[in-house]
Amino acid sequence: MVIDVRDSPELRAVILSLKLADSEVRKTMTAAARSVLREAWQSELRQRTLTRLENRVIVDSARARVSSQSFTLTAASSRRKLSGGLVPADDWASVELGAKWFRRTYTVTSRKGNPYKVTKLANRQFRPRRSKGYVAFPAAGKTGQRMVALYVSAIARRLHEISEGK
């Protein structure tokens, strides 16, 4: 979601204050905005998760990047393998968008060495397929304006605290 700053004098004022601030002040302002946005983003995602897998893949790797120009919210970006081998950055789509369930027949061998066929329903650990997503896509769509408001208020609050000498 992209919001045009040219339409809002308040947003232009906040970005200008960030650009004109001293480098140390700018660091503390962006750090304050980052922590506020990250917590709000993770709580929005957490409200929409139903399974532990969704929480581990999407919420645990949710991040907020903040600069003097913009902020970026990401989810499912971790490259670290979870137990079982799933890599959130590579396999997020089946968790976020769901996966089609299908029957799979394969041959296994018993303890006595006799082969036999087993039919199981695969991809049952994922929700049914939905193109609009379950967790991150709806959260981003619903909270875009709220995130901008939190970004502006966090920067303004920190700038006020700095000017007060706290």
**pLDDT tens series, the chain, 166 aa:** 566 667 777 777 777 777 777 788 778 878 888 888 899 999 999 999 999 999 999 999 899 888 777 788 899 989 999 998 989 999 999 999 999 999 999 999 999 999 999 999 999 989 999 999 999 999 988 887 788 888 778 878 877 787 787 6
Nearest CA to 90 out of 60, 141, 82, 127 is that of: 82
Res 1: pLDDT: 57
φ, ψ at 8 (rounded to 5°): -125, 115
Q: β-strands 115-122, 102-109: how paired?
A: antiparallel
Assess if residue 89 is contained within a domain: yes
**Residue pair 98/134 in contact by the 8 Å Cβ criterion:** yes
Assess if residue 40 is contained within a domain: yes
**How many structural domains are present in the chain?**
1
Assess if residue 2 is contained within a domain: no
Q: What is the pTM of this model?
A: 0.74
| CA–CA gap between residue 143 and residue 147 (Å, rounded) | 6
| CA–CA gap between residue 62 and residue 78 (Å, rounded) | 9
Range of the domain at 22: 8-164
Tokens at 36, concatenated: 């506020």
Assess if residue 3 is contained within a domain: no
Assess if residue 49 is contained within a domain: yes
**Residue pair 132/138 in contact by the 8 Å Cβ criterion:** yes
Q: Which residue has the tokens 């998760």?
A: 49
Assess if residue 159 is contained within a domain: yes
Res 81: pLDDT: 93
Contacts of 65 (CB under 8 A, 6+ apart): 34, 71, 72, 74
Assess if residue 137 is contained within a domain: yes
Assess if residue 14 is contained within a domain: yes
Res 103: pLDDT: 96
> Nearest 10 degrees: CA dihedral of 9, 14, 17, 22?
-170
